[in-house]
């Protein structure tokens, strides 16, 4: 263990094997500085090989490390340097070969320099990763840390360099064969207004599915299986949003407790599909399997959106492992604190990528373009996007990251979703992202949850959320579909748990139930946890129907979470990020049970209704003004007396809100230039614990009304066909939604 000084170049083995130090290394030709990463190609004189290129600003030397089938490592220096990119072409290196880098430079943590050539580093541009034994040790070995992890004086441990070889314990890049043939692929290109997002986890969605072959469960191939695709098609969603599939690593504190990072928000390879989700192999086979999954979903008309984590990496803070960027150029890749030993942390995960640096911005945009052009994906949801939008410190909507995305000819055409906050000062930015972007709208989530748990003083905020959140998004050319509406997400309670628990139950995570939010805005219907009380369970099922119906008739882009359509439970866990087990996996046995099947049928029918009626998928905000002599408005709000709401009504305590959506005044034209017209609907949301009388508005709104959905009814098959006259007073069930089609 040394405090400074370079490690001499040599040949070395792994797993106790060492190459002959006197044996000649591989021949390295000059090669080219672009593209970055490892690219198999035909070189000079028709010789096949692989070009390697690595940006390592400030480094003194870079060694390419090649591993044979027996795990023996051979090192070769890259001597060509162009604009801080070290590069070389190695003849005879074919796809499937594993590799990494050792980067030499100063060890001076006090200035942020943390080069340590004893540590094998993953290529940031590696397009496949072989994790080897992965994390079978029960904890991260001390060798994977650039500093002496177990130094007795922990407050200075990060300053003491550890010279033990990390190669046996860290993931390695894999050379991949280029395959750009997408001739048989047809992207669905679903317009934003018509989009319905279904958030799922590749493993969790497929692991327990009885109709997926056991060897394919938990994998990309499992998600591509007809049994998985058929469920998505029958349900009626148009896009899957995959929890992170970039190669990620597990945190040491989880491994020590016998747990794993299940969600995957701990990326270490921004070009590589996570190897553990591959059924076909980890020597590049995962790339082809991922592409076949995308093709299968596209063939079914379903887009693929990736949840991506470019705000931080798995290397964590100064006491974290050295796996890639830290050892390549710590000062170049990460935002460092005023004390350069430490990191500026806007993410809560120990570090933040320094996106204003050109090479970091290039890494991210190169990665995004790769997933679009070579892997076939249709869009991205950016985790903690506010951290990416920070310039030097503050969130800046003119930041380099947002500016580059806006002008990029590839990226500006795909779906872009921001999680519009981070954990830093000024990080909450809901409604602030520029045109092209949509946003997770947590204000929609909170307003809908609060209304159905009876915790709102009035209905003003709910009115905005149901009609597209114009107060947040009606600026700069943004449209209602800028709002991604959701009631639940992977982070938090499932829909069933939202009506079953008021308090989180995260003890299984081993953190004393301190993790996860306490602001659940949940109501347990009078009893905490599961119960055999038939009245409580009936109310809970009705509340789930209320929440789902509200979501799917709201203006904006709805997002469902896998399993919510069948009443999946996590047993009260609202932070199942490390529960790679039945707690998080979709329980497909629910689909055969009467209650969950009824819920699945209702969800399917609501999505079919949304698909059939453009008035529920508006491309422009409502004006609220009358567009005809009869005074009919495109959007109108009514009290239970059947009169339009006044200014005072919006400020008065209320548990009932009704909105009329006119199908006669839909802006825009269809593909042939014809005006778009549709049926009109009246939706009555009643949140009180007693039924209420509601006088249906008469002319010009409607002559009569046909019941489409009544959530007070356990079985919805009997709901359609009931007709009421305009002006008639009807009884709206306690805590229910009554959706009516206007008959003119």
Tell me, yes or no, if 285 is annotated catalytic.
no
User: How far from the centroid of its chain's Cα atoms is residue 490's Cα?
Assistant: 9
Which of the 8 DSSP states describes residue 307? E
Beta-strand ranges (E) seen in 591-743 are 635-638, 656-661, 680-686, 692-695, 704-710, 723-725, 729-732, 736-743
Q: Which residue, among 441, 293, 450, has the nearest Cα to 375 in the 3D structure?
A: 293
According to DSSP, the β-strands at 72-78 and 61-67 are: antiparallel
130, 162, 419, 679: the active-site residue: 419
Q: Which two tokens stand for residue 602?
A: 């209702």
In degrees, rounded to 5, the angle at the alpha carbon of residue 158 between the alpha carbons of residues 155 and 164 is: 135
**Residue pair 438/632 in contact by the 8 Å Cβ criterion:** no
**Which two three-digit tokens encode residue 643?**
């009169």
Is 153 buried (19+), middle (13-18) or exposed (0-12) by CB count in 10 A? exposed
Say whether 419 is catalytic: yes
At 416, which helix (H) or strand (E)? strand 415-418
Q: Which two tokens stand for residue 380?
A: 């991205």
448 near 519, Cβ under 8 Å? no
Place of tokens 């380099």: 400
Query: How crowded is residue 190: how many other Cβ atoms within 10 Å of its Cβ?
Result: 16
Helix (H) or strand (E) holding 460: helix 460-466
- Taking the C-alpha atoms of residue 100 and residue 119, their distance in angstroms, rounded to an integer, is 10
630 token code pair: 């009869």
| Listed residue (138, 157, 135, 136) closest to 146, CA to CA | 157
Residue the block writes with tokens 């198999």: 40
Distance in angstroms between the alpha carbons of the first and the last residue of the chain:
84
Task: Given the residues 143, 162, 315, 383, select the one marked as catalytic.
Answer: 383
Active site positions, annotated: 383, 419
């Amino acid at each position: 263990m040394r405090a400074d000084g370079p490690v001499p170049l040599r040949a070395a083995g792994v797993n106790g094997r060492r190459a002959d130090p006197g044996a000649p290394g591989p021949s390295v030709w000059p090669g080219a500085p672009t593209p970055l990463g490892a690219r198999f190609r035909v070189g000079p004189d028709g010789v096949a090989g692989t070009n390697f290129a690595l940006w390592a600003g400030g480094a003194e030397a870079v060694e390419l490390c090649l591993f044979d089938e027996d795990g023996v490592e051979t090192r070769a220096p890259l001597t060509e340097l162009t604009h801080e990119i070290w590069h070389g072409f190695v003849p005879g290196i074919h796809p499937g070969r594993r590799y990494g880098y050792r980067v030499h430079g100063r060890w001076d943590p006090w200035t942020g320099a943390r080069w340590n050539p004893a540590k094998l580093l993953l290529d940031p541009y590696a397009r496949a990763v072989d994790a080897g034994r992965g994390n079978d040790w029960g904890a991260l070995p001390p060798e994977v840390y650039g500093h002496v992890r177990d130094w007795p004086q922990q407050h200075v441990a990060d300053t003491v360099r550890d010279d033990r070889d990390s190669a046996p314990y860290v993931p390695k890049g894999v050379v991949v064969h280029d395959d750009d043939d997408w001739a048989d692929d047809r992207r669905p290109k679903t317009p934003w207004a018509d989009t319905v997002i279904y958030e799922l986890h590749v493993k969790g969605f497929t692991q327990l599915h009885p109709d997926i072959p056991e060897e394919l469960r938990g994998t990309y191939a499992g998600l591509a299986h007809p049994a998985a695709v058929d469920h998505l098609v029958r349900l009626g969603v148009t896009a899957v949003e995959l929890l992170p599939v970039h190669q990620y690593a597990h945190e040491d504190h989880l491994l020590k407790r016998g747990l794993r990072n299940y969600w995957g928000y701990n990326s270490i390879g921004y070009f590589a599909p996570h190897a553990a989700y591959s059924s076909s192999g980890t020597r590049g086979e995962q790339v082809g399997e991922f592409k076949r999954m995308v093709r299968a979903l596209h063939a079914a008309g379903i887009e693929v959106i990736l949840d991506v984590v470019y705000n931080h990496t798995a290397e964590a803070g100064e006491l974290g492992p050295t796996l890639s960027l830290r050892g390549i150029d710590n000062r170049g890749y990460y935002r460092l604190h005023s004390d350069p030993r430490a990191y500026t942390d806007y993410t809560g995960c120990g570090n933040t990528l320094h996106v204003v640096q050109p090479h970091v911005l290039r890494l991210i945009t190169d990665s995004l373009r790769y997933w679009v052009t070579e892997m076939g994906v249709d869009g991205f949801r950016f985790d903690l996007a506010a951290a990416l939008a920070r310039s030097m410190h503050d969130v800046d909507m003119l930041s380099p990251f947002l500016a580059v995305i806006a002008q990029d000819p590839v990226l500006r055409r795909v779906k872009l979703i921001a999680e519009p906050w981070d954990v830093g000062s000024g990080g909450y930015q809901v409604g602030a992202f520029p045109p092209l972007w949509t946003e997770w709208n947590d204000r929609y989530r909170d307003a809908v949850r609060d209304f159905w748990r009876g915790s709102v003083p009035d209905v003003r905020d709910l009115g905005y959320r149901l009609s597209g959140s114009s107060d947040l998004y009606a600026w700069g050319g943004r449209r209602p579909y800028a709002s991604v509406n959701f009631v639940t997400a992977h982070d938090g309670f499932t829909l069933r748990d939202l009506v079953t628990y008021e308090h989180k139950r995260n003890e299984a995570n081993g953190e004393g139930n301190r993790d996860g939010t306490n602001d659940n805005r949940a109501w347990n219907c009078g009893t905490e946890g599961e119960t055999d009380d038939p009245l409580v369970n009936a109310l809970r099922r009705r509340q789930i129907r209320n929440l789902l119906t509200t979501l799917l008739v709201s203006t904006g882009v709805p997002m469902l979470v896998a399993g919510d359509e069948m009443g999946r439970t996590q047993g009260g866990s609202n932070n199942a990020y490390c529960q790679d087990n039945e707690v998080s996996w979709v329980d497909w046995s629910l689909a055969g049970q009467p209650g969950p099947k009824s819920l699945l049928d209702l969800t399917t029918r609501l999505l079919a209704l949304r698909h059939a009626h453009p008035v529920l998928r508006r491309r422009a905000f409502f004006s609220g003004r009358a567009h005809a002599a009869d005074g009919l408005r495109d959007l109108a709000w009514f009290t239970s007396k059947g009169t339009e709401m006044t200014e005072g009504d919006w400020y008065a305590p209320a548990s009932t809100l009704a909105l009329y959506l006119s199908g006669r005044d839909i802006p825009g034209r269809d593909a042939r230039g014809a005006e778009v017209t549709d049926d009109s609907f009246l939706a009555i949301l009643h949140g009180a614990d007693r039924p209420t009388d509601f006088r249906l508005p008469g002319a010009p709104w409607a002559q009569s009304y046909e019941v489409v959905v009544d959530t007070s009814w356990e079985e919805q098959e009997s709901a359609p066909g009931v007709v009421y006259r305009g002006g008639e007073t009807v009884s709206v069930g306690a805590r229910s939604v009554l959706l009516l089609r206007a008959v003119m």
